[in-house]
């Protein structure tokens, strides 16, 4: 059970309801609310200049201070690019805190436009974007943070008129699309309530938005839902002849350095991920790399979701022939996620965390032989075009599968040569793209 501080990273376009939900979550007694719009407007007022990332960088430091003192932090920002999301996660990692990525979407474009055109700012001096500016805004939707995300459908029916105050200790009612929702403890409705004749109507009949907030609050406090881990929650309830749907996926993902005690779990992950055809060969490779002195220092990370091992990534030492002074390099191989946990971003989280730790350790360049459409999402570019030769020849049709990423600015300038890997990987069979 996670009992330490948590950083909630909200992302989404303007007008989708991020601030409404974020403010409600910040009602938690030990939560701190950070809003990028407020910070950036303060910088405009004080410096008479347009911020270009300074608001985010200032927010990272404020979040780190609060996480280090044991407070939960609710970060309310658009986070339109993967870089800012990765920096938020790095902020939590440095503070030893958990982090949860939450993406808010408005599924109805017409409703989204209506909100943009009708909303009013609550920050003095802040000029809100119009609909055309919002529609044209860059947003890296294809690499959204996963596996922890929140998608609300349809937002038009679920988000308006949410209370901003702390919930009362006694039952209250709220009007919503001509229907009354009961909200509060497990007490029966008063006799005057229009639904009073329906027996046993208690808080398990809350509308979906209330279910969401309840689970998010408990996630902040306990790291899990009181009645079990939160993996996938979907609720449907018919009220007043209408069906309101919400999908929530909040999966607790822990990534940490693997130890000898994790070896069985790691080998099980590799065998399951690569299947019968390649599983045994990859298991042998991982065992050899972990025991290979020429591969040290290795970075071996294991991912656990709801305390279940689901993913593993391994980085080993590499070098470039003829470089004086030597450039510190590493090679990513292999990356594995069990089939039932694939396609939700766990592999991406493992890569990002591994790159961050390598950078902190002074590694300057990372190489990988992998899918040319997957790894570029995490900053890799074709290595052959930059003059880096793989340990074994790569066929021309797969040349883009050999990739590199610089962890330090300008480190690739003027560098080229043949890459040498550790002894365990120095076999032709591992370099058939």
Better-scored residue on pLDDT, 367 or 253 = 367
- End-to-end, the C-alpha distance of the chain in Å comes to 41
Q: What is the 3-state secondary structure (H, E, C) of 273-309?
A: HHHHHHHHHHHHHHHHHHHCHHHCCCEEEEEEECCEE
Count CB-CB contacts under 10 A for residue 171: 17
- Give the integer Cα–Cα distance in Å for 10 and 123: 19
Instruction: Give yes or no for residue 113 having a pLDDT over 50.
Output: yes
Mean pLDDT of 258-267: 95
**DSSP one-letter string for 63-120:** HHHHHHTT-EEEEE----SHHHHHHHHHHHHHTT-EEEEEE-----HHHHHHHHHH--
User: Is-contact 404 388, C-beta < 8 A?
Assistant: yes
Task: Express each pLDDT in 41-96 by its tens digit.
Answer: 999 898 888 888 889 999 999 999 999 998 899 999 988 888 888 889 889 888 88
Better-scored residue on pLDDT, 415 or 146 = 415
Mean pLDDT of 364-383: 92
pTM: 0.49
Per-residue model confidence (pLDDT) at position 198: 42
Per-residue model confidence (pLDDT) at position 161: 30
Query: What is the DSSP secondary structure assignment for residue 40, as one 8-state letter?
Result: H
Mean pLDDT of 398-406: 93
Per-residue model confidence (pLDDT) at position 301: 95
Separation in Å, CA 8 to CA 73, 85, 258, 329, 359: 6, 11, 25, 33, 24
Per-residue model confidence (pLDDT) at position 11: 87
Mean pLDDT of 150-162: 31
User: Is-contact 347 359, C-beta < 8 A?
Assistant: no
Confidence of residue 104 (pLDDT cuts 50, 70, 90): confident
Task: Express each pLDDT in 206-227 by its tens digit.
Answer: 344 444 455 555 544 444 444 3
Instruction: Give yes or no for residue 250 having a pLDDT over 70.
Output: no
Confidence of residue 141 (pLDDT cuts 50, 70, 90): low
Measured over the CA atoms of residue 136, residue 159, residue 107 and residue 347, the dihedral's sign is positive
Name the nearest CA neighbour of 425 among 403, 392, 402, 384: 392
**109 Cβ partners below 8 Å, 6+ apart?**
none
Here the tokens at position 105 are: 């979407």
Instruction: Give yes or no for residue 244 having a pLDDT over 90.
Output: no
- The torsion angles phi and psi of 415, rounded to 5 degrees, stand at -105, 135
Separation in Å, CA 221 to CA 7, 216, 243, 355, 433: 12, 9, 30, 30, 46
What domains, with CATH codes, occur in the chain?
Answer: 6-166+207-249 (3.40.50.300), 253-431 (3.40.630.30)
User: Which residues partner with 245 through β-bridges?
Assistant: 236
Across 214-252, b (16+ Cβ under 10 Å) vs e yields ebbbebbbebbbeeebbbeeebebebeeeebebebbbbb
């Amino acid at each position: 059970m996670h009992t330490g501080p948590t950083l909630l990273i909200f992302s989404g376009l303007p007008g989708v309801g991020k601030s409404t939900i974020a403010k409600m979550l910040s009602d938690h007694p030990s939560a701190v609310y950070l809003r990028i719009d407020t910070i950036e407007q303060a910088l405009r007022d004080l410096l008479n200049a347009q911020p270009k990332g300074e608001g985010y960088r200032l927010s990272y430091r404020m979040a780190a201070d609060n996480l280090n003192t044991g407070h939960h932090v609710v970060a309310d920002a658009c986070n339109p690019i993967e870089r800012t999301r990765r920096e938020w996660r790095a902020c939590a990692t440095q503070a030893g805190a958990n982090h949860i990525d939450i993406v808010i979407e408005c599924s109805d474009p017409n409703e989204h436009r209506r909100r943009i055109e009708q909303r009013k700012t609550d920050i003095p001096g802040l000029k809100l974007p119009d609909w055309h500016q919002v529609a044209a805004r860059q947003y890296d939707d294809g690499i959204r943070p996963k596996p922890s995300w929140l998608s609300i459908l349809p937002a038009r029916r679920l988000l308006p008129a949410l209370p901003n105050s702390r919930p009362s200790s006694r039952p209250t009612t709220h009007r919503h699309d001509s229907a009354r929702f009961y909200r509060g403890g497990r007490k029966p409705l008063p006799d005057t309530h229009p639904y009073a004749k329906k027996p046993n109507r208690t808080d398990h009949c809350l509308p979906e938005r209330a279910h969401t907030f309840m689970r998010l609050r408990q996630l902040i406090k306990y790291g899990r839902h009181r009645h079990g881990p939160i993996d996938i929650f979907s609720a449907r309830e018919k009220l007043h002849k209408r069906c309101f749907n919400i999908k929530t996926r909040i999966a607790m993902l822990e990534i940490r350095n693997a130890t000898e005690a994790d070896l069985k779990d790691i080998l099980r992950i590799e065998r399951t991920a690569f299947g019968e055809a390649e599983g045994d060969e990859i298991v042998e490779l991982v065992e050899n790399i972990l025991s290979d002195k020429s591969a040290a220092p290795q970075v071996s990370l294991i991912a656990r979701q709801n305390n279940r091992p689901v993913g593993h990534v391994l980085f080993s030492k590499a070098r470039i022939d003829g470089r004086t002074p030597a450039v510190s390099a590493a090679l990513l191989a292999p990356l594995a996620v069990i089939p039932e946990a694939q396609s939700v971003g766990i592999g991406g989280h493992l890569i990002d965390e591994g790159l961050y730790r390598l950078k902190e350790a002074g590694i300057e360049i990372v190489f990988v032989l992998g899918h040319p459409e997957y790894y570029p999402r995490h900053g890799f570019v074709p290595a052959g075009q930059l003059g880096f030769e793989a340990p074994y020849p790569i066929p021309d049709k797969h040349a883009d599968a050999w990739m590199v990423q610089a962890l330090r600015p300008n480190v690739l300038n003027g560098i080229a040569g043949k890459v040498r890997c550790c002894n365990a990987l120095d076999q032709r069979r591992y370099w058939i793209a």
